[in-house]
Amino acid sequence: MTDELAVLGIECFAHHGVFEFERREGQTFPIDLVLGVDTRPAAASDDLQDTVDYGSLVAAVKAAVERDPVDLIETLAQRIADVCLLDTRVEWVRVSVHKPDAPIEATFSDVVLTITRHRSGT
């Protein structure tokens, strides 16, 4: 059994998308992370070294989102999951990539892709 650590609404500005105007103009991609982490060692020691430093993790995720444009949010979500799983204390991660400014010819509030990846690679 693991605990869940969530960081929600990480605002990243990037140039992802299939269309040339998305790549040129860019847009905001809010990111939500939920990490499966055993927090008992940190609770016992009260030491940051015994848990996931979410400040450093958010900086790494933001950098990963804002570099190297890709066409699909599926590719972006996998990139983010890979960054989160670099910390061996993260047993699984749920990543939600929001694209509220997606080029859709209808009124909508958001497009969200959520993936879950486990340390085993699934």
pLDDT per residue as tens digits for the range 17-42:
999 999 999 999 999 999 999 999 99
Q: Is 51 exposed, middle or buried (0-12, 13-18, 19+ CB in 10 A)?
A: buried
Each residue of 74-114: pLDDT tens digit? 999 999 999 999 999 999 999 999 999 999 999 999 999 99
pLDDT on residue 47: 97
Concerning whether 62 is annotated as a catalytic residue, the answer is no
In this structure, are residues 93 and 116 in contact, taking their beta carbons and an 8 Å threshold?
Answer: yes
Supply angle C-alpha 16, 117, 31, rounded to 5. Answer: 40
**Fold topology of 3-118:** GTP Cyclohydrolase I, domain 2 (3.30.1130)
- For 5, the 3-state DSSP assignment is strand
pLDDT on residue 49: 95
Is the full-model pTM beyond 0.85?
yes
Closest Cα to residue 7, out of 57, 43, 49, 50? 57
Sorted by where each begins, the domain ranges of the chain are 3-118
The catalytically annotated residue of 16, 89, 94, 99 is 99
In this structure, are residues 73 and 14 in contact, taking their beta carbons and an 8 Å threshold?
Answer: no
Q: Is the pLDDT of residue 54 over 70?
A: yes
pLDDT on residue 2: 87
Query: What is the rounded CA–CA span in Å between residue 69 and residue 109?
Result: 23
Q: Is the pLDDT of residue 121 over 90?
A: no
